[in-house]
Amino acid sequence: MAQAPTSLFFIPLLVLPCFAWLGMAAPTRKSAMVAGWASGVGYFAFGLVWLVEPFLVDAAETGWMAPFALFLMSAGLALFWAAAFWLAYSIGASRRQRVMALVILLSLAEFARAHLFTGFPWNLIAYGWIETPVAQLLSVVGPHGLGLLTMLVAVLPLLAVRRPYLAFGPVAALVATAWVWGAARLPAPEDIALTDTTVRIIQPNASQELKWRDDMLGIFFDRQLALTRQAGAKAVDVVIWPETGLPFFLGEDEISMRRVVEATGPDTQLIAGIRRYEAGRYYNSLIHLDEQGKITDIYDKHHLVPFGEYVPFASLAGKLGLTALAAQLNWFSGGSGPRILQDEGLPPYLPLICYEAIFPGDVQAETGRPDWLVHITNDAWFGKFSGPFQHLVQVRARAIEQGLPVARSANTGVSAMIGPHGRVLWSLPLGEAGSFDARLPAPLAATPYVRLGEWPWLALSLLLFAGLLLRRHRQR
């Protein structure tokens, strides 16, 4: 309930101690592991309920898979929690030590979930703070660090075994301190520094079941052209279309491409999503057109969606001689990695396509630092209940971590201009077609998280863990 769309930030402070108590007061390591797994299944099943939506696009054909997909995904992710509970119970010589070990190990388990098997860091515990000033701590310790701090504060009553009620004061004081610090870091809306760059963000609102129908392709394409043209509106520096906003393959429809250039106008650049085919491979891409309509940059999505854009280990089939099967399983190929695009007339930016925005590491280019982030996505897959809003929360988290504004164009909601403190400054709601013009906010200086990455919280975790092991050794 702390995650979007409910965003009840105080829930983890109440529920995490219950999870810890259930596991660390269990009679055996096995029962502790089961308690951890069950807690994880509940957390992930509710948070990822939007996973059923892609299977309902063609309900008659794939609808029966929806409940199995949700359960298997939740049960699989919960194994990370189960491992943390089992190991914490095994390490701790007392209930208090087990609770402390659990905080550290659960934080490390969430880090592992975010990286192993291509990673899936959706709905990290830290994101529950996004609607509060406490979220500004993301700029210092990142999502895993804030998750660790959240768990440490939440279990304080369990660490004060004899008089747990005495811990409620320190809990309130710590949350209040973080709240006040975050509020002081946030500028008033009228004090947000803006650049001279004006961006027009397009949202065509194409539902997934209609988006690729032959009789609807032209309608959605013409809608985007009209929103781009905006008769009577002031000229802008750049127009942004969503993921696969151009419904044809790059180079295969020059007539439609000329219409796009005409609608954009002679003094405006364009950033748009498109699919492309090269050397036997398909790519989910972003292209940049200059004021003359010439393609000056192409970025290929590198962090693909497992089972959505490719099948893991499909390359193994090719190595085993099953080349035909390997070709069928590799629907899209990945690009070379995060890259800053620098085009004359615009501040340098780092592009993100859909799924890539949920990975903090995907926002770090190998060289240099951009002035803003561009996120194009198609959230029509996620339904209307929670998925699109959770995706937006994670994009806002990237803005806070990096101290950079984000221009976000979604096929349908929520398209937004996000400031470098994570605030949504302008937006289009879910389920509406439209566009808006916004001046690009100025970037902040590189945050501590940009400079130090994950090292501070990892060092704290390892230091606390070493202290626990040393204490247990001495007791023995």
| Closest-CA residue to 132 (of 172, 176, 89, 197) | 176
Provide the CATH number for the domain around residue 356: 3.60.110.10
**53, 110, 243, 356: which is the annotated catalytic residue?**
243
Q: Place 322 in a pLDDT band, splitting at 50, 70 and 90.
A: very low
Please report whether residue 249 resides in a domain: yes
Instruction: Give me the percent of the chain exceeding a pLDDT of 90.
Output: 75
Compute CA distances 468 → 67, 96, 146, 152, 458, whole Å.
Answer: 41, 11, 21, 14, 15
Q: Are residues 276 and 421 in the same domain?
A: yes
Please report whether residue 405 resides in a domain: yes
* pLDDT digits 0-9 by tens, 218-266: 999 999 999 999 766 788 999 999 999 999 999 999 999 999 999 999 8
Establish whether 30 is a catalytic residue: no
| Residue 326 pLDDT > 50 | no
**309, 354, 401, 454: which is the annotated catalytic residue?**
354
Distance, CA of 239 to CA of 452 (rounded, Å) = 34
Q: What is the mean pLDDT of residues 397-412?
A: 97
Distance, CA of 144 to CA of 458 (rounded, Å) = 9
Q: Are residues 436 and 288 in the same domain?
A: yes
Q: Place 319 in a pLDDT band, splitting at 50, 70 and 90.
A: low
Q: Alpha helix (H) ranges present in 351-435?
A: 387-402
Please report whether residue 227 resides in a domain: yes
Q: What is the mean pLDDT of residues 375-382?
A: 93
Q: Are residues 244 and 360 in the same domain?
A: yes
**53, 110, 291, 301: which is the annotated catalytic residue?**
301
Q: Are residues 155 and 87 in the same domain?
A: yes
pLDDT of residue 230: 78
Please report whether residue 312 resides in a domain: no
Q: Place 286 in a pLDDT band, splitting at 50, 70 and 90.
A: very high
Q: Are residues 138 and 207 in the same domain?
A: no
φ, ψ dihedrals at 124, nearest 5°? -65, 150
pLDDT of residue 365: 74
Cis bond upstream, residue 414 (ω within 30): yes
Q: What is the mean pLDDT of residues 130-142?
A: 97
Q: Are residues 182 and 148 in the same domain?
A: yes
Q: Place 270 in a pLDDT band, splitting at 50, 70 and 90.
A: very high
Q: Which contacts qualify for 420-429: CB closer than 8 Å, 24 or more apart?
A: 420/444, 421/136, 421/185, 421/186, 421/187, 422/130, 422/135, 422/136, 422/138, 422/396, 422/397, 423/186, 423/189, 423/192, 423/396, 424/392, 424/396, 425/189, 425/192, 426/201, 428/201, 428/203
Check residues 367 and 442 and name the one with the higher pLDDT: 442
| Closest-CA residue to 235 (of 261, 197, 209) | 197
| Residue 329 pLDDT > 80 | no
pLDDT of residue 358: 96
Please report whether residue 314 resides in a domain: no
Q: Place 330 in a pLDDT band, splitting at 50, 70 and 90.
A: low
Instruction: Compute the chain's Rg from CA coordinates.
Output: 24
pLDDT of residue 361: 83
Compute CA distances 325 → 283, 290, 313, 455, whole Å.
Answer: 19, 40, 11, 42
Please report whether residue 117 resides in a domain: yes
Q: Are residues 160 and 271 in the same domain?
A: no
Please report whether residue 308 resides in a domain: no
Q: Place 160 in a pLDDT band, splitting at 50, 70 and 90.
A: confident
Beta bridge partners of 299: 286
DSSP state of 124: -
Q: Are residues 131 and 27 in the same domain?
A: yes
* pLDDT digits 0-9 by tens, 40-78: 999 999 999 999 998 888 888 888 999 999 999 999 999
Establish whether 234 is a catalytic residue: no
| Residue 162 pLDDT > 90 | no
pLDDT of residue 231: 62
Domain that holds residue 352: 194-302+337-444
Please report whether residue 98 resides in a domain: yes
Q: Are residues 275 and 350 in the same domain?
A: yes
Domain count, the chain: 2
Q: Are residues 236 and 347 in the same domain?
A: yes
Q: Are residues 373 and 464 in the same domain?
A: no
pLDDT of residue 318: 53
Q: What is the mean pLDDT of residues 332-344?
A: 92
Q: What is the mean pLDDT of residues 133-146?
A: 97
Distance, CA of 471 to CA of 460 (rounded, Å) = 17
Distance, CA of 45 to CA of 3 (rounded, Å) = 12
Q: What is the mean pLDDT of residues 405-423?
A: 96
Round the average pLDDT of the chain to a whole number and report it: 91
pLDDT of residue 325: 43
Establish whether 301 is a catalytic residue: yes
Q: Are residues 298 and 354 in the same domain?
A: yes
| Residue 95 pLDDT > 90 | no
Instruction: Give me the percent of the chain exceeding a pLDDT of 70.
Output: 95
